[in-house]
Structure 1
Amino acid sequence: MNFSELTELLVAQFGTDGILQTNTANPQPFLVVESTQIAEICRFLRDDDRLFFDFLACMTGIDNGLQVNTMEVVYNLTSIPYEHNLTLKVVLPRNAEGEPMPVVPTVSSVWRTADWHEREIYDLVGIHFDGHPDLRRILLPTDWVGHPLRKDYREMETYHGIKVK
């Protein structure tokens, strides 16, 4: 199944309220989907016999910076038996320092591997995954301040008396 056929199928299932945009200008085309529907869309992609996206190959969080003022979560999906791939993106408004984190529903109930991906994104980028069974830092200490992959991250001078810079 090619990208156009996948897009048509998803738009027929979720409408233009769920599938917000298609981008075929890039070497790897992608769909921008509504953040509130990401878990439902992913479950459909996994469970529909025509698609069977059984593998979440990668999941990435991106901070697009203050000028663009958005953050993204990118999902790279693969159907191993059908040998097709699909990239989904969720675009979120970026939060300022002191404001609540951007929120996306978890897909850890769809693919178990999302558990670790979402914890890493939470830890390093500062995106909250609603419904995640154990959302806590995975790479940094629990008392670390900030999210190091954010464009506005400021390194601490010291951490528990140890010089960091």
Structure 2
Amino acid sequence: MTFSEITDLLVARFGPDVILQTNTTNPQPFLVIRTDAVAEVCGFLRDDDRLFFDFLACMTGIDNGPQAATMEVVYNLTSIPYEHNLTLKVVVPRNAEGEPLPVVPTVSAIWRTADWHEREIYDLVGVRFANHPDLRRILLPTDWEGHPLRKDYRDMETYHGIRVK
């Protein structure tokens, strides 16, 4: 199934306002979808017999920096039996220091592997996943301060008396 056919199915199912941007100029085209619709769209992409995106190959969190004031979550989906791929993105406002972290609905009930991907994004980039069953740090200690893949992250001088730098 082609990218445009998949896009047409999504528009037919969810309406034209679910897709905020279509980018076909990249070697790997992608759709930017509404953040609040990501779980419902992903469920449809997995469950619809014409699509059957049964594999969440990767999920990535991106900090676009304080100047852009946005963050992204990128979903790379694959249908193993149909041998087609799709990239989805959601864009959320970037929080300033001291403000609550951006929130994206979890897709861990759709693909079990999202559990670990979402925990890694939370840990390193600082995006919360609403309704995640166990959202806690996965790579860093629970008392670590900050999110190291943020553009404005400042390394700690020491951690529990151990020199970090």
The SS at the match of 1:129 is strand
Cα distance, 1:94 vs structure 2: 0.5
Match of 1:6 in 2: 6
Partner of 1:26: 26
- The 1-side partners of 2:77 and 2:125 are apart by 21
Deviation at 1:20, TM superposition (A): 1.2
Aligned-partner SS, 1:73: strand
Counterpart position of 1:157 = 157
Instruction: Tell me how far apart the structure 2 counterparts of residues 20 and 7 of structure 1 sit (CA, whole Å).
Output: 12
Query: What aligned pairs does 1:1-165 form with structure 2 within 5 A after superposition?
Result: 1-165=1-165
RMSD value, Cα = 0.5
- The whole-number CA distance in structure 1 between the counterparts of 2:35 and 2:56 is 17
Which sections of structure 2, spanning at least 5 residues, go unmatched?
A: none
* Cα separation, 2, equivalents of 1:16 and 1:65: 29
Instruction: Using the TM superposition, name which of 6-15 and 36-45 deviates more.
Output: 6-15
Shift, 1:156, TM fit = 0.3
Whole-Å Cα distance in 2 between the matches of residues 16 and 129 of structure 1?
25
Once residues 143 and 17 of structure 2 are traced to their aligned partners in structure 1, the CA distance between those partners, rounded to angstroms, is 39
Give the superposition deviation at 1:17.
2.0
Number of residue-to-residue matches in the alignment? 165
Task: Write out the 4+ residue segments of structure 1 that deviate beyond 4 Å after TM superposition.
Answer: none
Letter of the 2:75 counterpart = Y
Aligned equivalents of 1:14, 1:100: Cα separation in 2? 29
Instruction: Specify the code of the residue in structure 2 equivalent to 1:53.
Output: F
TM-score by length of 1: 0.99
Structure 2 Cα separation of the partners of residues 111 and 77 of structure 1: 10
Note the residue ranges of structure 1 that are not aligned, 5 or more in a row: none
Tell me which amino acid in the other structure corresponds to 1:164. Answer: V
Letter in 1 for 2:117: H
